[in-house]
Amino acid sequence: LLQLIRPLDRLGQLYRSIKQSLTDVEQMLTLLDQPAEVADAAGAGSLPKGPGRLRFEDVDFAYDPRRPVLNDVSFEVPPGRTLAIVGPSGAGKSTIGRLLFRFYDPTSGRITLDGADIGAVTQASLREAIAVVPQDAVLFNDTILYNLAFGRPSASTEEIEQAARQAQIHDFIASLPDGYETMVGERGLKLSGGEKQRVAIARAILKRPRLFLFDEATSALDSHTELAIQRSLREVSRGTTTLVIAHRLSTIVHADEILVLEDGCIAERGSHAALLNRGGAYAALWARQQADREAAD
Ligand code: ATP
């Protein structure tokens, strides 16, 4: 019986892991109360290999036909580049992430990844190619090592440690008395929001995806944590196509392109410097966040 217990326990963990990964995605996309809307096209094949070129072409979308949410959204993220999306609450930023993950199909227009219409390939192959860093990653009641390895169960300890370094969480882990064997989750060490997000970033790095989708936490972080997350995000995005749904503009100063979304339309686009120069909505948002920061300091 004892010989049976360990494998059964692992099986239970695996089941929880699978459930958990779905939960992560669902949490990020706040889809818990929504039915699956899309099915694979008949005879759909796998997403063909490619360097990670993402295109939104004249995308319109509405959850309810009476109320458009995205209007004529077009952009391209070349392989290895970073695109950030900012804008007021309700502008449609997360909706772009949901369409990319194909929880819904556009009402018109299309989304392609390396030239393939994402509506024409299997959802499994599409989601395999994308690593999502959700706002609030959930940890299993297990060791930090186990929680990190979840990104790629076949990863070696060295690879896991390297991902943790890139995500700026290694030094923190190494400082714990039990290091990588520290138990976390409900019954173990409670990690802060910023630490959990860095664990999620390390998991995403281990997945070696073609595209990162980073949903920045809305909650305020202390400036030390924020800096660590910014650094880890820069590491992540180096060489891999990255889409950032941003709430704090300080995170995306280095993005190759920034889209300012307002009421589902792209109101402005350009680099941080170009948008500041323009003196429009982005410049106003930046000034407001700077003032808030100074007040907080
Ligand atoms: P925030 O910064 O607050 O997260 P956001 O820019 O990400 O906002 P979205 O979550 O994309 O905004 O929502 C865009 C619009 O779509 C909002 O008006 C929202 O109320 C609406 N919306 C979102 N999800 C649904 C849904 N499942 N059904 C109907 N309307 C929805």
Question: Cβ(29)–Cβ(98) under 8 Å?
Answer: yes
Say whether pLDDT at 195 is over 50: yes
Check residue 216 and give its pLDDT. Answer: 84
Say whether pLDDT at 31 is over 50: no
Question: Cβ(275)–Cβ(260) under 8 Å?
Answer: yes
Residue nearest to atom 11 of ligand 1 (CA): 92
Ligand 1 is surrounded, with C-beta below 6 A, by 34, 63-64, 69, 87, 89-95
Confidence bin at 36 (pLDDT 50/70/90): low
> For 134-193, how does the pLDDT look when each residue is reduced to its tens digit (9 = 90+)?
888 888 899 999 999 988 889 999 999 999 999 889 999 999 999 999 999 888 899 988
Question: Cβ(44)–Cβ(102) under 8 Å?
Answer: no
Question: Cβ(109)–Cβ(60) under 8 Å?
Answer: yes
Cα separation values, 206 from 38, 76, 131, 230, Å = 28, 25, 9, 18
pTM for the model stands at 0.84
Q: Which atom of ligand 1 is nearest to the CA of 67?
A: 30
- The average pLDDT across 89-103 equals 93
Cα separation values, 242 from 131, 137, 211, Å = 10, 18, 6
Which of the listed residues 56, 63, 219 should we mutate to test ligand 1's pocket, taking the one with most ligand atoms within 8 A of CB? 63
Residue 258 tokens, joined: 């920034």
Q: Please tell me the distance from the alpha carbon of residue 55 to that of residue 36, in angstroms, as a whole number.
A: 23
Give me the percent of the chain exceeding a pLDDT of 70.
87
Check residue 135 and give its pLDDT. Answer: 81
